Chains A and B, each alone.
Chain A
């Protein structure tokens, strides 16, 4: 409750909102309530409400037309001026041409306080556009918040509209995409608005793991409102025009005396690089929506569907000669895991999730012979590819998404271990690292693992090892599966003894190669790197009918 109040006050401080409020003339009780700059249409609308000689058909048409222009041309222009598109323009871009089927165009808010009951404060459809449509022919449910109507603020009716499509999406089994652009709670409605948020949150939670949920933040999203995107599977943002925060800069200033801009506090850069709240950011509304269409093609419609398979022109038996030389001879030298991933997947297309956060692990979607796969890879280029708190959490969440939605997981391993140090230990690397371990262990989708180089210590176990039910585990000839690197190992085994260099050589000979794991069957085969794509495609075909179930439980208790 308190959090929400703080949230609301912060919303009022949003510069975008501020300017929109300036156009509101009659202010009652200090809240935005009546639009002075009413459009012609609103003038008319007042009339037709009270005039009964209009036929029902005419009234329908008028309402419909009113709904189409939301808060009116002036606010549409203001929205455009901010570099943002309107709720309907966004829906049109996101969905296939003419495929949008709108729901609840006639819904209006039910608030009767502060003059809200007056006709000119009623907008057909209220501050959100909802419905279903198609993306590349596939069904999707969409809501798009309309900033031109009361700053996109969430009324009871607004929430109800969203809940309706979410309920239906769950029933038919189709994803939900939310296009967020809202100033926050509708203050005039008080607890009704808060109840609305909670109704949505509950549905977000119920839908989690049932249908994919995606949030695209295209404007402000503050206070309690942020928890809906946070509960969805993916949160994308638009650079420069979208913000996510619990409290705005002014509240921050008054509480903690920090000076911070909106952008620094909750802009796309902050959330994609620092906080890890958002999964990716795009240049502008159009770029974001077109990329979202592209992203959507990777996802199954629900947990009842297999990972989608699209037409593929890339031969599944293609050799990738570049991989034979990619791992450097010196084990300390870095290389780019993305080069391996792009070389192996269909048409080099890799949709990376969180490319700027915890870069020591790479996660994202790609296709193998047309079928969607989730890819997890250690990135030797960043912090030697070690696992730390952030990379463990990033990887774990991604693995769980894939497992929930039947997407096979490919894991590329080059990991020297978990990152040591007080900041990691104090931060709880033990419980956070356990998340990744948990996620890989519980996953029942096809799991294919390729050890490209180092697989040291506990991190070896974690990275989808055979012991965690990896279906196919390969090692490249450059693989080293061991408890630790030669130097460290020799210092322990031969503590205090001389000729360590000799011992080190012995250790390297014994352990710095794939054989110890291969002779025990912990890797199924040692493969020529250039054949990796071919092998994986073949394995995925075989594993397509994999069936594995975990013991019945209410739910597991992942170490949160």
Chain B
């Protein structure tokens, strides 16, 4: 193991997790999404809208604007100057340098952009300024319409304590807990005792997972109180805490609401968002497998009650925790368009962005509650530039050297804000896209998701497709028996990629062998008139040795046309395909089953990297001779990594805690790397003296860069 351990302790990650997910890049470059929204095409909304966001959500909003004949204005940071959302917009204004607080959160610059372009309204997307009441106020002061709810709704729902009180007053089920602010440690212990363990201590000003602690006894309550209040103070400048019952093994189900300024409010059914890691959603679906119509209606009605109670207008989301007995408890309300809104659009046919724009202009909703259908099933996978093998996803950066969305497949929608050649940088959320599939049934939607993931070509950055594909094909996920603890429960040792069955192994080995032979055959085909004739080898049969995950297989390949019969350990596998060696996708038929593999690399030494069932496998195909002689090749001794600390990810150095000559203890923090707003503390894996330090605070480092060397 390397000399570091990633102690991105829960709270650290939680602190930033929610933030990160909302400051997302990318959206809608979607394929034929048919909305069945009822609307009057003569309605006049706005002439020009500024989208105060970037990436997919900016593109998503612009799509609807274009459909409605509204001119769009993009804002962007300098590094985003050639981003998709900038190209898509009618006008674009640079609002500052790359860091978000200097560009996308820079209200002064954005206000200037609004004035300069004469925008009549602003769509904030999600994250950034979407739930910032100060921003909404400044817009109101200049008579610019904020496409979202009124300031007081943002304010009321932004505060945990107030929103809970409001919800309670509106007869919404809330988690049993203490309604007020917890005064001190002993007060916390007393309250916890009254509610009954386990309890959750969280910051009043926080959201999502920020500064949360679970306590199972008095001691943990004391510690949790202390840590949470410190975090709350440092993160939000507000150390008020509240305590509530901790719902164990819950599901996260949320209700989409839509309200206008005329007192109408609708619930647009639920989204099941239980598959999470570190409180960030990974896979969402609509509807939920868990809700019966009664529960759904009860939740929907309560959500509408809450929306009405705060005179909510625009689209919003009421999040609930649902326990195994279908008891549901109000969690929080998000006063903006949610990342996962496309799945609701898929099953209801409504274009939520269009409704938001209409409502913001003051038009009443044209739908009645009974007009809101559940048509089929929709699944969304969040495709991230992340390494899923490191705590279910640590950010990765890079240039998308090849990028191809599976939008040629039926019933697939991809919301993205990037394209081939785009850079995934350390400055923004590492989301690549939202991949949505839908169908008449859940099984159909899932099958389409499988196909879509297999056909999704992403090169140049590490991505989480291996994890996504494992989740959506996991028997427990298919059965619908999921909770927010799904990932840690199913992968207690961390995610390790697809585990091959013996049949899968044979399929993979056979395909690799067939690909190898195709390439070998092609490499002796020279075109044109040759002065010295070639003598290509005509062979019927190839005896090969295929190495995969430390196992070795004797393989015999014979070919007839484009079909290869591959005998793997005595079992015959038939593989046929086009064998286009230039294509990123490798569609083959293995024993009559069509499959799409991807060939990521293929080198002269016989090393082939194939993506099979979502996971990348390194396969080595060797001739018999090479295989025999390989025994003589020296083992290369890998670098001793226990005294070398390398950056596990690209990012910037926040702090270096040691200097040359210092003696560090095992587990002592050496430095802190921040990437995509996540701070990771790197620690020494052994006690040693620091030999040299190769980084300093404020520096940007790449993955694998040497940071500190120990003796």
Q: Which residues of A contact B (CB under 8 A)?
A: 80, 82-85, 89, 92-93, 96-97, 99, 134, 136-139, 172-174, 240-241, 283-287, 290-291, 293-295, 297, 301-302, 304-306, 308-315, 320-326, 329, 336, 339, 342-343, 346-348, 370
Contacts and interface: CB of A to CB of B under 8 A. Distances in A.
A93 B522 contact: no
B523 interface: yes
B535 A99 contact: yes
B604 A89 contact: no
Contacts of B583: 313
A137 to B, nearest CB: 4
Given A290-B604, A321-B421, A314 B626 contact: no
B527 A310 contact: yes
B259 to A, nearest CB: 40
B528 A284 contact: no
B523 A297 contact: yes
Nearest to B78: A329
Contacts of B402: 322
Contacts of A342: 401
Nearest to A314: B582
Contact of A96 (B528, B530, B537): B537
Given A80-B632, A322-B401, A326-B421, A290 B525 contact: no
Contacts of B537: 96-97, 99, 137
B626 A301 contact: no
B368 to A, nearest CB: 45
A70 to B, nearest CB: 15
A82 to B, nearest CB: 8
B562 interface: no
Interface residues on B, range: 35 or more
A399 B565 CA distance: 45
Contact of A241 (B420, B522, B606, B634): B634
A139 B532 CA distance: 8
Given A172-B532, A342-B401, A370 B82 contact: no
B582 A346 contact: yes
B400 to A, nearest CB: 7
Contacts of B422: 322, 325
Contacts of A134: 534-535
A134 B524 CA distance: 10
A68 B581 CA distance: 39
B571 interface: no
Contacts of B401: 322, 339, 342-343, 348
Contacts of A310: 522-523, 525-527
A169 B709 CA distance: 53
A89 B528 contact: no
B8 interface: no
A342 B530 CA distance: 28
Nearest to B82: A325
Given A311-B527, A342-B401, A370-B527, A285 B626 contact: no
B629 interface: yes
A305 B527 CA distance: 13
A295 B81 CA distance: 40
Contacts of A294: 523, 603-604
Given A284-B634, A322-B420, A137 B582 contact: no
A125 B633 CA distance: 26
Contacts of A92: 625
Contact of B605 (A84, A137, A290, A295): A290
A286 B524 contact: no
Interface in B386-403: 399-403
Contacts, number: 128
B324 interface: no
Nearest to B583: A313
Nearest to A174: B532
Interface in B502-541: 522-528, 530-532, 534-537
Given A291-B604, A310-B523, A339 B399 contact: yes
Contacts of A293: 604
B582 A286 contact: no
A83 B582 CA distance: 35
Q: Which 4 A-B pairs have the closest CB atoms?
A: A322-B421, A83-B634, A294-B604, A137-B534
A313 B421 contact: no
A286 B536 contact: no
A241 B625 CA distance: 21
Given A286-B630, A322-B400, A326-B421, A309 B528 contact: yes
A301 B634 contact: no
Nearest to B581: A313
Contacts of B534: 134, 136-138
A136 B530 CA distance: 14
Interface in B557-599: 580-583
B419 interface: yes
Contact of B531 (A96, A284, A304): A304
B606 A93 contact: no
Nearest to A338: B401
B523 A136 contact: yes
B67 interface: no
B116 interface: no
Contacts of B606: 290
A247 B419 CA distance: 55
Contacts of B536: 136-137
B555 to A, nearest CB: 17
B503 to A, nearest CB: 30
Nearest to B528: A309
10 contacts: A83-B634, A97-B537, A134-B534, A136-B524, A137-B535, A286-B630, A286-B633, A311-B527, A329-B78, A339-B399
Contacts of A322: 399-403, 419-422
A97 B539 CA distance: 11
Contact of B582 (A138, A283, A313, A339): A313
A89 B605 contact: no
Interface in B629-670: 629-630, 632-634, 636
Given A291-B605, A329-B81, A89 B629 contact: yes
A302 B531 CA distance: 10
A66 B273 CA distance: 74
A315 B528 CA distance: 18
Contacts of A308: 526, 528
A174 B534 CA distance: 12
B133 to A, nearest CB: 35
B581 A309 contact: no
B420 A321 contact: yes
Contact of A305 (B399, B531, B625): B531
Contacts of B633: 83, 284-286
Contacts of B399: 322, 336, 339
A137 B401 CA distance: 34
Contact of A324 (B400, B421, B626): B421
Contacts of A97: 537, 625
Nearest to A289: B626
Given A138-B532, A283-B636, A326-B421, 4 more contacts: A284-B634, A312-B582, A324-B82, A348-B401
A526 B684 CA distance: 54
Contacts of A302: 531
Contacts of A346: 582
A470 B419 CA distance: 34
A286 B527 contact: no
A347 B78 CA distance: 32
A336 B401 CA distance: 11
Nearest to B632: A80
B291 to A, nearest CB: 43
B460 to A, nearest CB: 9
B636 to A, nearest CB: 7
A369 to B, nearest CB: 10
A141 to B, nearest CB: 12
Contacts of B419: 321-322
A137 B538 CA distance: 10
Nearest to B626: A286
A283 B632 CA distance: 13
A173 B583 CA distance: 36
